[in-house]
Amino acid sequence: MRFSFLVTIAALAASMSVTAQCSGDGDLCFTDSPCCGGLYCMSYGDVCFSDSMTA
């Protein structure tokens, strides 16, 4: 019983890491999780932001 519970938790954790493909506005950005379309990774603080803030 415990083994199947641990297998289920491990499978859920693995699927969550695969589905996170890009970071949204205000989210942290990393090399394995770049910013979503139209957003840029600010090197200071590694946060995604929209270029429209400067326009």
More confident site: 32 or 48: 48
Question: Positive or negative, the Cα torsion across 20, 23, 28, 33?
Answer: positive
The predicted structure's pLDDT at residue 19 = 52
Tell me the CB-side half-sphere exposure of residue 50, using CA atoms within 13 A. 5
Contact yes or no for 41/29 (Cβ under 8 A): yes
Give the pLDDT score at 55: 45
Query: DSSP class of residue 40?
Result: E
In tens, the pLDDT along 1-47 reads 666 777 777 776 665 554 557 888 888 887 767 888 888 887 767 88
- Which pTM does this prediction carry? 0.46
Buried/exposed code over 25-53 (b: 16+ C-beta within 10 A; e: otherwise): eebebeeebebeeebebeeeeebbbeeee
